[in-house]
Amino acid sequence: MDEGLDRPVSKELVPLRGAWKFVAPYKKQVVFASIALVVTATVTLSIGQGMRLVIDHGFGDGSSTVLVQSIGVFALLVVLLTLGTFARFYFVSWVGERVSADLRRAVFSHLLHLHPGYFEANQPTEIQSRITTDTTLLQTVIGSSVSIALRNVLMFTGGLVLLFVTNAKLSLLVVACVPLVVVPVILFGRRVRRLSRSSQDRLADVGSYAGEALRQIKIVQSFNHQGEDDRAFRERVDLAFKVAIRRIRQRSYLVAIVMLLVLSAIASMLWVGGQDVLAGSISPGELAAFIFYAFIVAGSVGAISEVYSDLQRAAGATERLLELLGAENLLEEPVSPRMPGQPLTLAVRDVVFAYPTRPGERVLDGVSFVVDPGEMVAIVGPSGAGKSTLLDLLQRFYDPLSGSIELGGVDLREIRKENIRGLLGFVPQDPVLFAGSLRDNLLYGRPQASEVELTQSLKLAHALEFIGALPDGLDTVVGEGGVGLSGGQRQRLAIARALLVQPKVLLLDEATSALDAQSEDHIRQSLAELKGERTVLVVAHRLSTVRQADRILVLSEGKLLAGGTHEQLVATNELYARFVRIQFIDQSSDNGEVVQRRLSNSPVAR
């Protein structure tokens, strides 16, 4: 951040130019606001001339008519000022609110389409806090600071011109003081900007820490972690406070120094001007008007210096928002997209993959296989083998480092992501649901599905029964992440949700792991019904599911060790044979045949 010190001042506000793109659509409001700004500034400035007239002619000539006229004009000016102020405040705030709302929307919409890997390197909770705090900062700045700055620039220029008109000699004195004020503004302003960015970062930390702890409250309490969280949170809050105070201190210095300089300058002008009035070379009205303008000029310099640091804070916030907005999508859409051909064969060719966060570790290492349409293929393998990763790649959440994945003879990179995913139905390993009703969750992928289709997929997923038992049925509301349902219920809903999309290819990642043997059996039968109709790729641990597949792939440490039917693999693949032996024991215990388990346990263990 130190390079900021060498940057010329004009460059420090450069990020704000990026925000202009968001202001530009509202030129009409900006024009209204500008007119109001000019009107109010002009009215305020003309008050000085009025003062001069009243003092020199109203009082000086002892005539009451001039006084009455002057008061009349003054009243008119007040009305104008009131209307102008209303319009200025309304339109400027309107633009501020509108721009920050648009920016929020633009950032969110950009992030929604970004490659999932982005959120491994950048914490979603921190991004969430940026979308709220940074845009809010921008909103206040555009909605008030910019208007204050513009108004005061106008007042400064107008005031300065009128100063010279009123008295050139005294004005030179004022102009000589300007650099004295500007230098500290620049010096302190830079520090404020740097501290401001770090202050917003700390604030984002606070937000994301609280979010994570509260979302996982059961784990927090189960491990008696509240004390630790309390301490860690307090640390973050304190750090945010310290950084904020450092920023505020710089700003206070700035405001105080500017005030001191301005008031000293005015005092010396009073002294010089007072001498002139005594000597009779200028009128008292002239001096009064002069001091009025001097106050306006000085006041506007002070106001600008104050909001200048706000503008710098806004520049910091804008920079970060534009960073989010400019985050490059590593999964570009194809320039000339193609549709997958027929038949809809799924072909994985020599795929090598490592996660971007761990580039050295090959999670998939030369994996090749082909799945014909309507085929049911099971993938088995130890934990960490790369099974879930493979399903991610099939949906193009990542691109392979080398090799290719083809759907209907077309490389996934040549198909629009929307079209790839439109053909796939996915049941994740951790069945995620969203806050809302069960119906909302089920219709997630296809809101226009009919009631009949809904019932059908619930039946296939063996979920009708438990939903029927809920007092509100499909209108039962669940919390964020599906709070309020059992793991197995969530799993069945996730299956129904995927089936409702009527996908050509169904990807199931251990979709039945949390189910009791009976529910699992029902789903297995449903899958059997789908066989031939849809391609099914199922990551499975249960022998019953695996046996039902047309073909089984054995994956271990990123390598495809073998493929074939159950009988072939039992005979030829040691890893698979061992998997089957262990499963046999598990299944026995599922059926409550404890004795058999014990009996079979001993020879296998040896």
Ligand X SMILES: Nc1ncnc2c1ncn2[C@@H]1O[C@H](COP(=O)(O)OP(=O)(O)OP(=O)(O)O)[C@@H](O)[C@H]1O
Please report, as ranges, the residues that interact with ligand X according to CB under 6 A: 120, 355, 357-358, 363, 381, 383-389, 429
For residue 358, the minimal CB distance to ligand X (Å) is 5
The distance of closest approach from Cβ of residue 510 to Mg ion in the complex, given in angstroms and rounded to an integer, is 7
Q: Report the alpha-carbon distance of residue 366 to residue 207 in Å, rounded.
A: 42
363: enclosing H helix or E strand: none
Asked whether the beta carbons of 341 and 409 are under 8 A apart, the reply is: yes
Q: How far apart are CA 266 and CA 273, in angstroms?
A: 10
**Distances in Å between the alpha carbon of 289 and those of 101, 266, 302, 451?**
44, 13, 20, 79
User: Taking CB within 5 to 8 Å according to partner kind, which of Mg ion, ligand X, none is near residue 70?
Assistant: none
Q: Please choose which of Mg ion, ligand X, none residue 285 contacts, taking the beta carbon within 5 to 8 angstroms, the exact cut-off set by kind.
A: none
Contacted by 596, from Mg ion, ligand X, none: CB < 5 to 8 Å by type:
none
Min CB(396)–ligand X separation in Å? 15
* Closer of 192 and 494 to ligand X (Cβ): 494
Stretch that binds Mg ion, among 241-249, 371-379, 428-436, 443-451 (CB under 5 A): 428-436
Q: How many residues does the chain have?
A: 606
Selection from ligand X, Mg ion, none that 120 binds (CB < 5 to 8 A by kind) is ligand X
How many CB atoms are closer than 10 A to CB 376? 22
User: Tokens in use for 586?
Assistant: 């598990």
Within 13 Å of residue 320, how many CA atoms lie on the same side as its CB? 29
> Which does residue 7 bind out of Mg ion, ligand X, none, counting CB within 5 to 8 angstroms by kind?
none
Helix axes 451-460, 517-530, angle to 10 degrees: 120
Partner that binds at residue 358, options Mg ion, ligand X, none, CB closer than 5 to 8 Å by kind: ligand X
One-character DSSP codes across 448-514: T--HHHHHHHHHHTT-HHHHHHSTTGGG-EE-GGGTTS-HHHHHHHHHHHHHHT--SEEEEESTTTT
Q: Does 395 bind Mg ion (CB under 5 A)?
A: no
Q: Which tokens hold the place of 278?
A: 């005594």
- How many residues sit close enough to Mg ion to count as binding (CB under 5 A)? 2
* Residue with smaller CB distance to Mg ion, 19 or 363: 363
CB 431 to Mg ion: min, Å? 13
Contact 529, 335 (CB under 8 A): no
345 is a site residue for Mg ion (CB under 5 A): no
CB of 541 to ligand X, least distance (A): 8
Please identify which residue in 46, 345, 388, 437 interacts with Mg ion, judged by CB under 5 A. 388
**Candidates 85-93, 384-392, 395-403, 565-573 — which segment interacts with Mg ion by CB under 5 A?**
384-392
Minimum distance from residue 323 beta carbon to ligand X (Å): 22
> 60-67: long-range contacts at Cβ-Cβ below 8 A with a sequence spacing of 24 or more?
60/283, 60/284, 60/285
Query: Is the CB of 200 or the CB of 389 nearer to ligand X?
Result: 389
| Residue among 246 and 559 whose Cβ is closer to Mg ion | 559
**Nearer Cβ to Mg ion, position 316 or 381?**
381
Which residue has the CB atom at the shortest distance from Mg ion? 388
Q: Is 125 in the site for Mg ion (CB under 5 A)?
A: no
Name the one range near Mg ion by CB under 5 A: 287-295, 350-358, 424-432, 593-601.
424-432
How many Å apart are CA 269 and CA 284, to the nearest integer? 14
Judged by beta carbon, residue 120 or residue 475, the one nearer ligand X is: 120
Catalytic residue among 510, 520, 533, 574: 510
Per partner kind, with CB cut-offs from 5 to 8 A, the member of ligand X, Mg ion, none near residue 357 is ligand X
**Which residue number, 177 or 540, has a Cβ lying nearer to Mg ion?**
540
Query: In the annotation, is 323 catalytic?
Result: no
Per residue, the 3-state secondary structure of 95-123, as one string, reads HHHHHHHHHHHHHHHHHHCCCCCHHHHCC
HEC assignment per residue over 117-174: CHHHHCCHHHHHHHHHHHHHHHHHHHHHHHHHHHHHHHHHHHHHHHHHHHCHHHHHHH
Smallest separation, CB 528 to ligand X (Å): 24
Q: Which two tokens stand for residue 508?
A: 């199931």
Q: Which residues bind Mg ion (CB under 5 A)?
A: 388, 429
Give me the active site residues, please.
Answer: 510
